[in-house]
Structure 1
């Protein structure tokens, strides 16, 4: 091991590591990079003695005045950090495991890059203080039941139908601004319906469908990504490549109706644009300013429209997709409005990932693990693990049937 590598301060390696692990051009995007950067910073503070118990002074010997370097690292350091995560920060067991994995991944990278001679973080003694798990079973995660799915899709369908009918049956003499308000209400209801149906029936991950502010490649699906005739949608998968996802029959009609109402100016428009008025106001004003319009002219133009969304459609001011957080807010609002009965320890609404898991349960029960794995874009092994409660229940039924048959013979 070169002396130069051993004498390198720990944080000198962070940026290169994050560039390698980051997503997007230049490695600047991605949730992994953001989370890893946070945990590496915390690890660096802990090694320097700036984080931890009052009597913790860091990993550098007390009689030495310098930053922590790779020469200070060994399995005892990682064992102590595992103990710190488990005991000093009040974290849940699975969170402790996750945070330690960020540091362990960096340690492995350092071995490959020549900073360390061994993957100390993965040694048994280093990992011994880590908790086993939090006891959560695969079936404990929220999955929309058939009753919940039907209740929510029925509610959004009724809301959209009523809003569209109210708009399309307005008398010709209706005030233009009132017509715009009715169209906006219909667009919002149609967007909500389309979003719910896609989440409920396609099993696409919400992060593959909508915009992620931390990953520039996840800009949300656009109309050009959809083929309603073929029943498919191109999405950027979790495995970081584009792939086609299926659009089953229940999804086609809501999407087609929504597109007809929206009339997107180009195919590059997002399927699920934000309706946030504050965001829209800023985007519209900025776009007109870039086109050379004066502030008073921009104000007059905006006054002609009941909502900036409608102005953006007419002027082809392309809007951003809603984010994954935005989808959660929408589903919270809709779950409450639909008065859906939800009994779950973590979510008091139908969370987006629950739609995917609910569809997974349907597919596993109806067609088995192999078909479900293909539809869910997962390995069969992972699907078996995540839906193991189904197989356990079915085996229980088999055992009960066997016992009843044997008992009837005695």
Structure 2
């Protein structure tokens, strides 16, 4: 089905495929996340059709059009109105409003990847403007992954990658080539996600140093030529505007090695974390094949032989761009939801990339002090002391408590 044909489909027609992708177990019909998402997506579809009970709301289809809403009817105003509906019409708490909107936003992103929509309208600032403001935290405060959150997320992506890789590598010999390709693609995606999570969780590298920033051509994303798995190091373009080496601690090595073996990049200049965006890869493949002298019919014939354009790009050495920083955040949002991680933070309802860095900072400061943590975080000791002042305050509180105990004990 072409993007044009998918745009003509009803919103409801996409739900089952999406829910299967998000569900757990055989057939993708299990899991708390799927159940929660399904409930809210059904409400969204009813709202889009004008069936949520408000007399002055007729839905998103043009006036006088007697049909179900289709993807052609959706733009950023749709999500702005739904955000306003969540925030004002249902009497929901602020965190619940954001959680429900996140469910719809994740579906919107999936629809972009699958060709139903042209853009991720739900993430645009104008769409999210009616959502409740963050409160209860100073502007400088940031999320930090706790040990439990880090363990839950890394364990989840490790299990997903192991399962996908085992499924691919144990396929019977008689498996159809296209099915083998689908299994390989699923394994690659799971292995890439695992490697990304482990690197963000344990290296304390900034997401802008690891992935591509569309607004800064110098930040083109880490390539395999920048990584030395034997010595446990990675060259990144630091915030201080220069290349520098970052450590790759032991927990990151195995996920990266396994992923590299599966990916088998044609050259060392391939990005470590290439985009998996369907639209971007389709444009890359078509443009590159055309530049190599292929006719349109030949291009489509070659693409038809592959389950995904990424696999054709690998075989034909068409180097894709790295995942963007926004793409990395979307991956972590999806994985946080899939892992059903409990997150209590007024600004982020998922494990954001900077939270991994800050979480490692907490560990390092507590274990080795501010000087060592500053070197690992590529920050000044003064800045680290300022950002982790709550640790020092807690330690001083313990010292004060001990002093009081000694004084009170001596008076008895």
Q: 1 CA distance for matches of 2:198 and 2:408?
A: 47
Q: 2 CA distance for matches of 1:208 and 1:165?
A: 32
- In the TM superposition, what is the alpha-carbon distance from 1:409 to its structure 2 partner? 1.8
Q: 2 CA distance for matches of 1:223 and 1:211?
A: 14
**Is 1:225 paired with 2:226?**
yes
Please give the per-residue CA displacement for 1:275-310, whole angstroms capped at 9, x wherever unaligned: 011111111000001111000000000011000000
Q: Which residue of 2 aligns with 1:248?
A: 249
Q: 2 CA distance for matches of 1:386 and 1:395?
A: 16
TM-score normalised per structure 1: 0.67
- 1:210/1:219 contact within 8 Å kept: yes
**Is 1:371 paired with 2:376?**
no
**Is 1:386 paired with 2:387?**
yes
Change (3 A) 1:250 1:179: same
- 2:136/2:346 contact within 8 Å kept: no
- In the TM superposition, what is the alpha-carbon distance from 1:405 to its structure 2 partner? 1.8
- 1:184/1:307 contact within 8 Å kept: yes
Q: Which residue of 2 aligns with 1:141?
A: 142
Q: Which residue of 2 aligns with 1:407?
A: 408
Q: Which residue of 1 aligns with 2:212?
A: 211
Q: Which residue of 2 aligns with 1:150?
A: 151
Q: Which residue of 2 aligns with 1:160?
A: 161
Q: 1 CA distance for matches of 2:139 and 2:310?
A: 42
- In the TM superposition, what is the alpha-carbon distance from 1:401 to its structure 2 partner? 1.3
SS at 1:140's partner residue? coil
Q: Which residue of 1 aligns with 2:41?
A: none
Q: 1 CA distance for matches of 2:267 and 2:380?
A: 36
Quick check: which has more Rg, 1 or 2?
A: 1
Please give the per-residue CA displacement for 1:53-105, whole angstroms capped at 9, x wherever unaligned: xxxxxxxxxxxxxxxxxxxxxxxxxxxxxxxxxxxxxxxxxxxxxxxxxxxxx
Which aligned runs of 4 or more in structure 1 are off by greater than 4 angstroms? 134-139
Please give the per-residue CA displacement for 1:239-295, whole angstroms capped at 9, x wherever unaligned: 000000000000000000000000000000000000011111111000001111000
TM-score normalised per structure 2: 0.66
Gaps spanning 5+ residues in structure 1: where?
1-133
1:283-322 aligned at under 5 Å gives the runs: 283-322=284-323
Q: Which residue of 2 aligns with 1:344?
A: 345
- In the TM superposition, what is the alpha-carbon distance from 1:136 to its structure 2 partner? 5.3
Q: Which residue of 2 aligns with 1:172?
A: 173
Change (3 A) 1:360 1:339: same
- In the TM superposition, what is the alpha-carbon distance from 1:406 to its structure 2 partner? 1.4
Q: Which residue of 2 aligns with 1:277?
A: 278
Please give the per-residue CA displacement for 1:135-163, whole angstroms capped at 9, x wherever unaligned: 95598310000000000000000000000
- 1:138/1:385 contact within 8 Å kept: no
Q: 2 CA distance for matches of 1:294 and 1:138?
A: 55
- In the TM superposition, what is the alpha-carbon distance from 1:404 to its structure 2 partner? 1.5
Q: 2 CA distance for matches of 1:378 and 1:234?
A: 16
Q: Which residue of 2 aligns with 1:90?
A: none
- 1:139/1:387 contact within 8 Å kept: no
- In the TM superposition, what is the alpha-carbon distance from 1:387 to its structure 2 partner? 0.5
Q: 2 CA distance for matches of 1:139 and 1:344?
A: 13
1:90-105 aligned at under 5 Å gives the runs: none
Instruction: Indicate the RMSD between aligned Cα atoms, in angstroms.
Output: 1.3
Q: Which residue of 1 aligns with 2:336?
A: 335
Q: Which residue of 1 aligns with 2:261?
A: 260
Q: 2 CA distance for matches of 1:379 and 1:346?
A: 26
- In the TM superposition, what is the alpha-carbon distance from 1:408 to its structure 2 partner? 1.7
1:10-49 aligned at under 5 Å gives the runs: none
SS at 1:305's partner residue? coil
Q: Which residue of 1 aligns with 2:26?
A: none
